[in-house]
Amino acid sequence: MDQLTDEVEANLTRHIDAAAHWQPHDYVPWDDGRNFGFLGGTDWDPSQSELGETAKLALTVSVLVADNLPSYHRELGKYLRRGPWWRWVGRWTAEENRHEILIRNYLMVTRAVDPEELERLRLAHMTLGFRRPSMHLLDVLAASAFEEMAAAVRHRNTEALDENPIVTEIARRLAVDDEMQAEFFANLISAAFDLAPDQTMRAIADRVADFRVPEVVLADGSSSDDALAAAGIYDRAKEPELVFGPLLAQWKVFSRTDLGATGEQARAELEHLRP
């Protein structure tokens, strides 16, 4: 961890300098809002939603994944607890929380989804929480890079729906954030290759082998994995091309000449991903 501290500091500075200073409230059409029945207004009815089913699904899954932020913060913070590492955890957590704030406000103000059902799903999803198996630091960095790349894919596909100008811009904004976060973790893996190429390759192979995106149980009991794949928002079958491929290329996984026997064995396990 100490050997990568300078890289963390430099990448944290780069990330903050490059990040757009956008505000979640700017993307919410507040004029569309009105009280629900509890405050004398009108309770939700399906006819009030103007979103297509695919956009509803995509935003519902995105907000529920973001709702589980306390679990992700805890799991990341277990490994990154000192100096610039901890400052990065704080920055990452703040950015992810902003995503949840934006999507939930948009869904509630526009009455795009049933608020009571969404709250039931939130409670259930957060109660289950999220736990990582015990990992080495390099495994955490590789897994995080893949997770952020996958989130960017999901949001880019939501953007491509062209549902309406606001949803399109929300999805684009979140995708940009995810891509920048993926870049942070990926840059640290690149630096780790210079320090410990065999261990780094081993971590990448292990995290590819057990990679799973966050899964949400939907209101009908189905899995978000299946629903998102069917809707064309996120298909696990495309992970080799869209999630793993760009990062393996950045890390020059298949052209490195600095590996020992352990690293070569790990690389052999990634051969099925060679372009």
- Is residue 94 within 8 Å of residue 41, measured between CB atoms? no
| Token pair in block for residue 226 | 């299946």
What is the chain's alpha carbon radius of gyration, rounded to the nearest angstrom?
20
CA–CA distance, 194 with 229 (Å, rounded to integer): 37
The set of residues, in sequence order, having a beta carbon less than 8 Å from that of 212 and lying 6+ positions away, is none
| Token pair in block for residue 61 | 């899954």
The 10 Å CB-count burial string (b at 16+, else e) for 76-103 is beebbeeebbeebbebbbebbbbbbebb
119 is an annotated ligand-binding site residue: no
CA–CA distance, 138 with 185 (Å, rounded to integer): 10
21 is an annotated ligand-binding site residue: no
159 is an annotated ligand-binding site residue: no
Cα distance from N-terminal residue to C-terminal residue, the chain: 32
Quick one: which H or E segment has residue 230?
A: helix 224-231
Angle, helix 137-160 to helix 53-67, in steps of 10 degrees: 150
Helix ranges restricted to H, 111-164:
115-128, 137-160
CA–CA distance, 1 with 197 (Å, rounded to integer): 15
- Is residue 228 within 8 Å of residue 57, measured between CB atoms? yes
CA–CA distance, 17 with 49 (Å, rounded to integer): 38
Binding-site members are 96, 99, 148
Binding-site members for Fe cation are 96, 99, 148
